[in-house]
Structure 1
Amino acid sequence: MDRNTFTGLFLIMIIIAGSVWFLRPSDAQLKKEAALQDSLKRVKDKTTPATTARLDTAKIINKPVDSAALKSPFGATINGTEKLITLENKDLRVKLSTRGGRIYSVELKNFKTFDKKPLVLFDGDANKFGFSFGAGAANVNTNERYFTPSAAGLQVAGQDSSSITMRLSYTATQYIDYIYSLKGEGYKVGLVIKATGLDNVIANSSSINLNWESSLHRLEKSITLDRQYSMIQYLTTDNDFNDLGDTKNDQKDITDKKLQWVSFKQHFFSSLLLSKDGFTKSSLIVNVDTSNHEDIKQLKANLTVARNSDGTFPLDFYFSPNRYKTLAAEGHGFEKQINLGWGPLKYVNRVAVIPVFNFLTQFNWNYGLIILALTIILKLVLSPLTYKSYLSMAKMRVLKPEMDEIKAKVGEDNPTLLQQEYLKLYKKAGVNPLGGCLPLLIQMPIVIAFFRFFPGLFELRGQGFLWMHDLSTYDSIVNFGFSVPFLGDHLSLMCLLMTVSTLIYTYFNNQISGVSGQMKYVGYITPIIFLGALNGYPAGLNYYYFLANMLTFLQQYLIRLMVDDKKIHAQIQENKKKPEDKKKKSGFSAKMEEMMRQQQQVQAKKK
């Protein structure tokens, strides 16, 4: 890419951005459109009566029921009245419904949504939790049946270690019990399913088929990241962790392995179902409906649960924040839900970053200061590599006049010979041309590890610093009101500052390294790309990159005071006077020189 091409692309980008900005609808047009939509909504509300889950239930109760269905197994449970019973502790408010005997809704009491509403993971009839089994010639689905709550359970609800029994009756002595239990604090809801006197009624009573469905509510400011981080995750009994549906619709059937738990995970919260004996067969489905801005994804799990040795089907729900130390304390590998990166990145975060971060949180500092301290510690640890990289670039800068002389002498039309002459110069001067790159490459896994660490860091949720109200999401200074190509519907101030600092860093780095020609302009393209890529990412992540740039400026200023170009030049000249090392060349060096000689011969023949 020459200068003219780069200038043309840059001007095209400015024209596109300017067109979007100047052609955007005015405030008056936006208000007019909003008024029109509001009028249409009022007309629709007058013609279409609003319905609630309770009204829908009433319709189901009042519709005629086939007399044959009433005479079928559990036929008396087809009709009923839906009631909600609250099971509550310090952390959770769980509502149970008599229709299906299921958990109707879950609220995490100590947290709020991004718009300060009660944080309800799911509620309503779009969510299901029921079992299907054969009883005689009929197929029974508990989702559509009415349970009776135990009076004793209702009296102790809300107290420490409370429990409620929801009963689906066949006869007075034959029934299915859902026994829910909740301790005084914590995120675990126990569920024991027990069938009494039904061995001759239920076909294949050694296992039951569970249907679990949930429509996930939008909980975070960035609906894009909320969808991206929402998925189904699971862990097999042999400790094999996997997920599906993070970016698209997905489906997976698992019959060769038993699942220990299945999680309906969102960005910062999750609903998890654990089986002590494992789910023997599983079918997992993820549907993404981008047209709905209230619910972000629909998740489904069809699971086969085996009966325990005592004749029960024990399960445990966990409705929990995705805080690493909270999940790790629960055990069962729950902390695997938090994406710490792939390969070595995962271990960098788990072994180094998380322990240091947890240590810093003990001081009760603002999280903006904790990120600053974490960045300083990282820069201090990597300072020897930074010094080595700077020193290598300084040597290359000192050698540049001699390299220019070689280039003028050999010419650019023979790149193979030119590289050979460069290598001879490096060897005489004792300079490693890769010395400036290798330290940077070693640092890259840590930089990328932080890219995974900050977006999934629950501790930043709702934590403000300076003008940033929430470090876990973007800090918009401009809301466009419409989607702009490359940027989205907003402009993040911290992302803009990070981009400007990266551009300045690139400029000074070019001065230090002596980069010239086309490569000088390539470095300016990457920060512009990052502006679009990171504009919707958490302010905490962009704040870390901004701090890293500022501290790098400081490091380079201090190192520059310590490094004298004249001394480096004198040392290089001394190295040139030393006799050539007659040691046997490495296999790699010998192959490189042989390859260059062959290329030179080919070029000579062409000429």
Structure 2
Amino acid sequence: MKKYKKIILLMSMLVLVFVLTGCGATGSVTADSTGLWDRYIVYYFGQAIKSLSFFGNKGIGIIMFTLIIRVLLMPLMHFQTKSMRKTQELQPKIKALQEKYSSKDPETARLLQEETQRLYAENGANPLTGCLPLLVQLPIMMALWQSISRIPALTNGHFLWLALGDPDPTYILPILAAIFTFISTKLTSMGQTETQGAMKIMNYTMPIMILVMGVNLASGLSLYWVISNAFQVVQTLIINNPFKLKAEREAEEKRKQDLEKALRKANLSKKKRK
């Protein structure tokens, strides 16, 4: 059950954010709005998008805003990648602990948990670090959604065939957002030495959730998801290319096998000389 805690946490946060946002999103947001969220977050998100709307096109503003956000998040994504690699490197030791404390009684389970946490702490790894980018992006998505839905200049904006304040009638953007989400999560899982069950579920549940929300929410938010996840795909291929990592692992494995063969051959030669 523990291996599903991460995915349950992520899904719960998504559902909670969008439920709360839907319940609280009432009235237009202007410079006269009050409250920390409306006046200083939603309003200034809208102002940032409008200032980036070249040629007065609010869709371009959303694209530019998304790219800036993704660039700002790159250090956090790099930290996440490093932490995930450390966690993956510890998997053989984690499995050894699980075999050592295989009994299901409460005391053994407690010892396993303590030993596992100690192992993570000693190696500077945290399996929940993968949640950090999503934790940061959730309020950004919420503020962006409310900006598009509650600031008239954005709600009435258009981009290509889209009315940014309305769902995409062609479903093109929600489908693209789901596809790029799937590719992004798939590439991430491919870069791991061992894909856990929770990650496999994420590969399919996240794109489905994005698709469902994209079909029902403002197309401006779907545009954000398309650009954001496409950026993530490119970033992964450049910084943490799973195909390159796989080739490196295979080369390292071959090197170890060649070394073992050489050692066995040397030992055999010594025995023959004796």
Alignment TM class, shorter chain as reference: 0.5 to 0.7
TM-score using structure 2 length: 0.66
Q: Give the aligned partner of residue 48 of structure 2.
A: 356
Q: Deviations over 1:269-319 (max 9, x none)?
A: xxxxxxxxxxxxxxxxxxxxxxxxxxxxxxxxxxxxxxxxxxxxxxxxxxx
Counterpart Cα distance in 1 of 2:189 and 2:37: 30
Counterpart Cα distance in 1 of 2:143 and 2:245: 34
Counterpart Cα distance in 1 of 2:81 and 2:195: 14
Counterpart Cα distance in 2 of 1:447 and 1:515: 28
Contact 2:66–2:227 at 8 Å: present in 1 too? yes
Counterpart Cα distance in 2 of 1:407 and 1:384: 33
Contact 1:386–1:440 at 8 Å: present in 2 too? no
Once the two structures are TM-superposed, the CA of residue 412 in structure 1 deviates from its matched residue by 6.4
Q: Alignment partner of 2:52: what SS?
A: helix
Q: Cα gap change, 1:564/1:535 in structure 2, threshold over 3 Å: closer, same or farther?
A: closer
- Partner letter of residue 138 of structure 2? M
Counterpart Cα distance in 2 of 1:382 and 1:347: 21
Q: Give the aligned partner of residue 189 of structure 2.
A: 510
Counterpart Cα distance in 2 of 1:383 and 1:346: 28
Q: Cα gap change, 1:459/1:393 in structure 2, threshold over 3 Å: closer, same or farther?
A: same
Any unmatched runs of 5+ in structure 1? 2-227, 230-241, 247-264, 266-321, 337-341, 478-491, 567-607
Give the structure, 1 or 2, with the largest relative contact order (CA under 8 Å, sep 6 or more). Answer: 2
Structure number having the greater strand percentage: 1
- Partner letter of residue 169 of structure 2? S
Q: Deviations over 1:248-288 (max 9, x none)?
A: xxxxxxxxxxxxxxxxx6xxxxxxxxxxxxxxxxxxxxxxx
Q: Which has the larger radius of gyration?
A: 1
Counterpart Cα distance in 1 of 2:213 and 2:134: 22
Q: Alignment partner of 1:435: what SS?
A: helix
Query: Among the aligned pairs, what percent are the same residue?
Result: 28
Contact 1:357–1:370 at 8 Å: present in 2 too? yes
Q: Give the aligned partner of residue 424 of structure 1.
A: 118
Contact 1:368–1:465 at 8 Å: present in 2 too? yes
Q: Cα gap change, 1:436/1:536 in structure 2, threshold over 3 Å: closer, same or farther?
A: closer
Q: Cα gap change, 1:463/1:445 in structure 2, threshold over 3 Å: closer, same or farther?
A: closer
CA RMSD of aligned residues (A): 3.6
- Partner letter of residue 416 of structure 1? R
TM-score using structure 1 length: 0.32
Q: Alignment partner of 2:240: what SS?
A: helix
Q: Give the aligned partner of residue 66 of structure 2.
A: 375
2:239 to 559, 567, 583: 559
Residue 26 (structure 2) pairs with residue 347 (structure 1): no
1:389 to 80, 83, 86: 80
Once the two structures are TM-superposed, the CA of residue 522 in structure 1 deviates from its matched residue by 4.8
What number of residue pairs does the alignment pair up? 223
Q: Deviations over 1:343-384 (max 9, x none)?
A: 657633334x234223213x4253322211111111112221
Map residues 286-435 of structure 1 onto 2, 5 A cutoff.
Answer: 327-328=30-31, 333=32, 335=33, 347-351=40-44, 353-361=45-53, 363-411=54-102, 413=104, 414-435=108-129
Q: Give the aligned partner of residue 125 of structure 1.
A: none
Q: Alignment partner of 1:449: what SS?
A: helix
Counterpart Cα distance in 2 of 1:369 and 1:349: 18
Once the two structures are TM-superposed, the CA of residue 544 in structure 1 deviates from its matched residue by 0.7
Q: Deviations over 1:166-199 (max 9, x none)?
A: xxxxxxxxxxxxxxxxxxxxxxxxxxxxxxxxxx
Counterpart Cα distance in 1 of 2:127 and 2:36: 29
